[in-house]
A and B are shown apart, each in its own frame.
Chain A
Amino acid sequence: MADVRIDSVSLTYHGVDADVRALAGVDLTLADGDAVAVIGPSGCGKSTLLLAMAGLLAPTEGAVFVEGEAIARPRLRTALILQDFGLLPWKTVLDNAELGLRIRHHPPAESHKRALEALTRVGLQEFLGLFPSELSGGMRQRLALARALALDADLLLMDEPLSALDALTREDLQDLLLSLWRDRRHTSVLVTHSIEEAVYLGRHVLVMSPRPGRIAAVVDNPGMGDPGYRETEAFHQACVELRGLLAAEGALHREGGAS
């Protein structure tokens, strides 16, 4: 039951020249098995929010609760997938997939079995001995997903995981993400720059305001979850609505910059 509660979280980075306020009073509740997409202008604190949820950044004020427990350090069944996939170039496909289990001292045989299952699920079972530099961008992303699956993650945090991929590979992986979510019903948080991706993969889409990040709007997107959703009128409606909200945020940004 990976329900998440973000309770008036503020986060300030202490820089060399000045402090940067990345998040200002973010409140949010995610039900177990929810799929949320987070979208907003660059530098709005999307990634910061994700790192706080992963337990890698401590909020300056407030707290993040997962399953009712305040998160102070990385949690066992939370998986974080970063923009550049977070793979280790010196480990093979299999070793990368096993890494999370090995770090948590699972027996080698069990780690091996679970990693193999996960790699098979994402279609990488033929490439166990290759290094990440020998894989295409899409395959690297699949490997990052396999690592999360091997951990049996019930909370998947993704920071623009598909932004480096070409359009076709991207749709392919969006379909994989959707099918994984439909099969497993993990709680999913996806940070993205793409309006279409947010609408395709987010049952709720959060629009964040420019720095310091706040949640400016939440768009309900009940049609999400069907693989054919991209071709529907409702999908386009949701995209239009979201684009309007983002434009408003962009305008806010310009006013904020002038003052």
Chain B
Amino acid sequence: MRGWTRKAVGYVGAAVVMVVLWELASLAMHSPALPTPADGLGEFAKQFPVLLPHFGVSTLRVVSSILLGLVVGAPLGLVLGRSERADVIFGPLVFLNYPVPKVVFLPVLLVLLGIGNASIIALITLIVFFQILVTARDAARSLSSAAVLSVRSLGADRWQVFTNVVVPGSMPEIFTALRISVGTAVAVLFFSETIAGSTGLGYFVFDAWGRVQYGEMFAGILAMALLGVLLYEAIELIEARVCRWARAGR
């Protein structure tokens, strides 16, 4: 539990620093778009019942996108990393598409899938998928050959090598990719909800901005920030469980 208290102290300290900086910035700018911490948090508390359903919808969208991207991208990446034949065939396809900015396809998705959940989830999934695929492939490639050899010497077939070595050995890198993609995913969520949503935090923020309701707008921004922090922490928690070995003995 010592690790927990240390972490809690760190978070409280960081929060205090942020509130002080926020206060200073709002005093310096003196703009209704950046309220003081007291006003901003007060507004957040006031808007909380209105925000909650939007928060739920946004969470559902971003979590299902990340899960979809993970479930499809990670196994595919691991296979590409371990099978030269698969890599020769599909590798170029991946690397041709990886650098293409997927957000520009939002209009195409809107035409194909319509305004709403489907387009938003499809767009975020697409981005997360490529990030995880590429990381998983590199992780599987750089696995120690000694681990593979020793498991093979025990009589493991390809599937057993995959489940005993490739999957667990690549987990730390996959979690790193996940944590990075949370940032991207929330950003893309905001962007796509402002365009393709009539619900969700992105829609809420943009709608409030359009109505010049800066208090509401700011409450929405805080909710979006909170969503990002919570997702990041959730992934940290799962990683600490799944990759206990990677932190042991350090």
| Chain A interface residues (CB < 8 Å from chain B) | 51, 54-56, 73-74, 76, 78-80, 82-84, 86-92, 99-100, 103-104, 130-131, 133-135, 147, 151
The residues of A that contact B153 with a CB separation of less than 8 Å are: 54-56, 74, 78-80, 86
> Quick one: closest A residue to B161, CB to CB?
A103
CB <8 Å contact, A131 and B150: no
The residues of A that contact B168 with a CB separation of less than 8 Å are: 88, 90-91
CB distance from B33 to the nearest CB of A (A): 49
CB distance from B98 to the nearest CB of A (A): 27
Interface centre among A55, A89, A92 (most CB of B within 10 A): A89
Closest 6 CB pairs of A and B: A86-B150, A133-B249, A80-B153, A134-B249, A90-B168, A100-B154
8 pairs, A vs B, C-beta closer than 8 Å: A56-B149, A74-B153, A82-B149, A103-B151, A134-B248, A134-B249, A147-B154, A151-B154
CB <8 Å contact, B155 and A90: no
Is the C-beta of B245 less than 8 angstroms from some C-beta in chain A? yes
Task: Please report the C-alpha to C-alpha distance between residue A126 and residue B245 in the assembled complex, in whole angstroms.
Answer: 18
CB <8 Å contact, B155 and A104: yes
Interface centre among A76, A86, A92, A135 (most CB of B within 10 A): A86
| Chain B interface residues (CB < 8 Å from chain A) | 144, 146-147, 149-156, 160, 164-165, 168-169, 171, 243-246, 248-250
Contacts A89-B245, A90-B168, A131-B249 given: A103-B146 contact, CB under 8 Å? no
Task: Please report the C-alpha to C-alpha distance between residue A74 and residue B157 in the assembled complex, in whole angstroms.
Answer: 10
CB distance from A162 to the nearest CB of B (A): 16
Task: Please report the C-alpha to C-alpha distance between residue A151 and residue B152 in the assembled complex, in whole angstroms.
Answer: 14
CB distance from B249 to the nearest CB of A (A): 3
CB <8 Å contact, A82 and B150: yes
The residues of A that contact B149 with a CB separation of less than 8 Å are: 51, 56, 80, 82, 86
